[in-house]
Structure 1
Amino acid sequence: MGQRRYRIPSTSALVAFESVARLGGIGRAADELNTSQSAVSRHIKHIEDEFGTRLTEKSGRGIVITRAGEAYLRVVTTALESLNAAGSALRAADEDVTIACTHEVSHLLLMPHFARLRESLGRGARIRILTCEYETVPLMVNAGADLTFEYVEDVPETGCIEILPEEIVPVASPSFLAMHAGILAQQPGAWRGVPRLALTKANLGWATWEDWFAAIGTDAPATEVETHDNYVYLLEAAAAGAGLALGWRGFVDRYLQSEALVAVSGRWITRPPKLVARLTRRGERNRNAVRFLPLLSRLLSNRRT
């Protein structure tokens, strides 16, 4: 396969020509490019020698572009703008941070801090969030994720940082508490008949009501249980007075701070799993993703109540 040879002057020469044409003078172009006038003149001469035609002419104290120069300038300007746009896209792709996580992590943990997290990355960098079911988070690595959120019992020493321990407490709306004040004042084992809210399926790493009652040393009393597919929807139902919900520290903070939900018991139960943010192999090569880990941990730890 033969080699293709492009008869194209250097990028520096093209930039110098565009600057001279736009500013109307070699001196002004030299100032803009932070170089000498002789260097700019050499660039223009190099292009003219390459194609055997004049592109510029002196006119009084300035420079004017010849007809041939005007035609070439249009092409050069378009090419330089395309190169600049392509470079910006490459830089942005390199600086972006793509996160794969569940809807709960996205809505309840990341979004309250989204503006500060984006600002920390600097201009041009974006945060992309890929939401999915917990079981499919590993598949998002192939979609270009730099960071994933997952539950582990032992936090790896490198490329991973603890975001939140799993700490849970029953919560309910003030109106629900007022309605069931008498029975909720008793020991949890006696909360028979008090409606509870639960997730429809096992969400890996998340405790169930049975786990919470077992942790405090009693069986879960019989009652009506309303199920929800999504923890965000479950919290909204609890805030509307539909029943007791398990509140995870970090996830339920905004509801507690606004008093849309209130802790029924002052005792938070701590369980072994921890929510961590982990760098993917792609993320390990992304300086912004590496910087993102400790920042994320610091912001989220500050909102614990």
Structure 2
Amino acid sequence: MKLPPLKTLPVFETVARLSSFSRAAEALNISQSAVSHQIRQLEDYLGEPLFLRTGRQIRLTEEGNQYFEQISSALSQIERASEQLQGNEDTQLRLAVYSSFAVSWLIPRLPRLQRLHPQLDLDLEMLSELPRMSDRMGDCFIAINPKQRGFSSELLYSERMFPVCSRQYWQQMVDDLGQAGLLDEGPPEKLNTGWIQRYTLLSATSIFEKKNEDWRRWLAVEGETVHGTTRVQHFSHMIMAHEAARHHQGIALSNDYMFDPEDPILVRLPCHILNTGDEFHFAYKTSRRNEAAIRLLKQWLIQEAIRSGLRGEG
């Protein structure tokens, strides 16, 4: 077995993770010159530069980044295997998750997780887009449609979208539609899709990464299109459109993890739903499937998804 100088690998991993020779020296409790020596030794062995140095700034080369992804994963596996053998398995996890899912669904449920599993130490990292999952980003992920070699996943939620607005705004709509002769007395059991465009639509670009695309797809389910006269207020993120709806500014598209049926301000309109095709999964490295912390978190997330109605029993 031909291996590089083994003591250079933790040094490389620390420098790459911290993007600093001085901070790596402090973290490893060795001198900065010793760090530089170990990195030069590893680069000489590999025959490739691992870092680009510009003044005091350093960053990984393309080869260094590829090497870091593999080395950090291998070092983590060695650490976990040793802890398991010693009976000191770590229950600290970094969970990378989309901000809207974390804020609206996960964070309010964390006290229950802490009561059930006080030994689990969970750190949340925010995802802004579908990631290339790696140990560098997190130990596990809640991601949309994750498909990556070496990872396993469990379905938590198949997304469906529906219109919501404030109860005040809904009453104004009912009164307006009644005065226009479109409604009999009181709220309708089902709202005509075409009537929606009489009011301000709150659109979130982040859902389908294109202006009006969320409403275009929702309307298309019943053969409608966005009219040129329809007032559409655009937001970069779904959370912002949702908040605007809470402040009586129009109608937003929401989903099951963002909308609480018992919300005292928001109401779901009696309309059809749009199945977006996005599936939220709990994903983790297959090689880590038997770790106690991964198993605990996976089991709890599935139970909570079922309990809250995001996922069926099956």
Q: Into which bin does the TM-score normalised by the smaller protein fall?
A: 0.5 to 0.7
TM-score (normalizing by structure 1): 0.60
Equivalent residue number for residue 132 of structure 1: 127
2:154 is equivalent to residue 149 of structure 1: no
Indicate if the aligned counterparts of 2:162 and 2:254 stay in contact, CA closer than 8 A: yes
**1:37-116 superposed matches below 5 A:** 94-116=90-112
Deviation per residue, 1:41-84 (Å, 9 max, x gap): xxxxxxxxxxxxxxxxxxxxxxxxxxxxxxxxxxxxxxxxxxxx
Deviation per residue, 1:177-201 (Å, 9 max, x gap): 1222244965212333310111134
Deviation per residue, 1:153-205 (Å, 9 max, x gap): 99x9x83111111111111001111222244965212333310111134547x
C-alpha displacement of 1:289: 1.3
C-alpha displacement of 1:129: 0.3
Q: Partners in 2 of 1:200 and 1:276 — Cα distance?
A: 22
C-alpha displacement of 1:118: 2.7
- Distance of aligned partners of 1:210 and 1:189 in 2 relative to their CA distance in 1, 3 Å threshold: same
Indicate if the aligned counterparts of 2:192 and 2:271 stay in contact, CA closer than 8 A: no
Deviation per residue, 1:111-156 (Å, 9 max, x gap): 1111112333333x31100013124x336x34351221222299x9
Equivalent residue number for residue 34 of structure 1: none
Indicate if the aligned counterparts of 2:96 and 2:125 stay in contact, CA closer than 8 A: yes
- Distance of aligned partners of 1:267 and 1:193 in 2 relative to their CA distance in 1, 3 Å threshold: closer
Q: Partners in 1 of 2:247 and 2:303 — Cα distance?
A: 31
Indicate if the aligned counterparts of 1:153 and 1:272 stay in contact, CA closer than 8 A: no
2:190 is equivalent to residue 197 of structure 1: no
2:206 is equivalent to residue 218 of structure 1: no
Which piece of structure 1 moves more, 192-201 or 234-243?
Answer: 192-201
DSSP-derived class of the 1:218 partner: coil
Q: Partners in 2 of 1:232 and 1:201 — Cα distance?
A: 10
Indicate if the aligned counterparts of 1:103 and 1:132 stay in contact, CA closer than 8 A: yes
- Distance of aligned partners of 1:104 and 1:283 in 2 relative to their CA distance in 1, 3 Å threshold: farther
Deviation per residue, 1:2-58 (Å, 9 max, x gap): xxxxxxxxxxxxxxxxxxxxxxxxxxxxxxxxxxxxxxxxxxxxxxxxxxxxxxxxx
Indicate if the aligned counterparts of 1:101 and 1:130 stay in contact, CA closer than 8 A: yes
**Residue 121 of structure 1, aligned match among 102, 117, 121:** 117
- Distance of aligned partners of 1:264 and 1:147 in 2 relative to their CA distance in 1, 3 Å threshold: same
Indicate if the aligned counterparts of 2:162 and 2:268 stay in contact, CA closer than 8 A: yes
Q: Partners in 2 of 1:199 and 1:91 — Cα distance?
A: 48
Deviation per residue, 1:218-253 (Å, 9 max, x gap): 223341211222322221111111110111012212
Equivalent residue number for residue 62 of structure 1: none
2:255 is equivalent to residue 248 of structure 1: yes
C-alpha displacement of 1:264: 1.0
Gaps of 5+ in 1: 1-86
Give the fraction of aligned pairs with identical amino acids, expressed as a percent.
15
**Residue 237 of structure 2, aligned match among 230, 235, 258:** 230
Gaps of 5+ in 2: 1-82, 184-190
Equivalent residue number for residue 168 of structure 1: 161
Relative to total residues, which structure has the larger helix share, 1 or 2?
1
Indicate if the aligned counterparts of 1:161 and 1:294 stay in contact, CA closer than 8 A: no
Equivalent residue number for residue 40 of structure 1: none
**1:25-40 superposed matches below 5 A:** none
- Distance of aligned partners of 1:283 and 1:189 in 2 relative to their CA distance in 1, 3 Å threshold: farther
Q: Partners in 2 of 1:240 and 1:231 — Cα distance?
A: 15
Q: Partners in 1 of 2:108 and 2:284 — Cα distance?
A: 22
DSSP-derived class of the 1:159 partner: strand
C-alpha displacement of 1:266: 4.7
Equivalent residue number for residue 27 of structure 1: none
- Distance of aligned partners of 1:176 and 1:282 in 2 relative to their CA distance in 1, 3 Å threshold: farther
Q: Partners in 2 of 1:104 and 1:114 — Cα distance?
A: 15
**1:103 aligned partner, one-letter code:** S
Deviation per residue, 1:90-131 (Å, 9 max, x gap): 9988211211111101101211111112333333x3110001
Equivalent residue number for residue 295 of structure 2: 290
Q: Partners in 1 of 2:198 and 2:102 — Cα distance?
A: 34
**1:94 aligned partner, one-letter code:** D
C-alpha displacement of 1:282: 6.9
Equivalent residue number for residue 38 of structure 2: none
Indicate if the aligned counterparts of 2:159 and 2:256 stay in contact, CA closer than 8 A: yes
DSSP-derived class of the 1:219 partner: coil
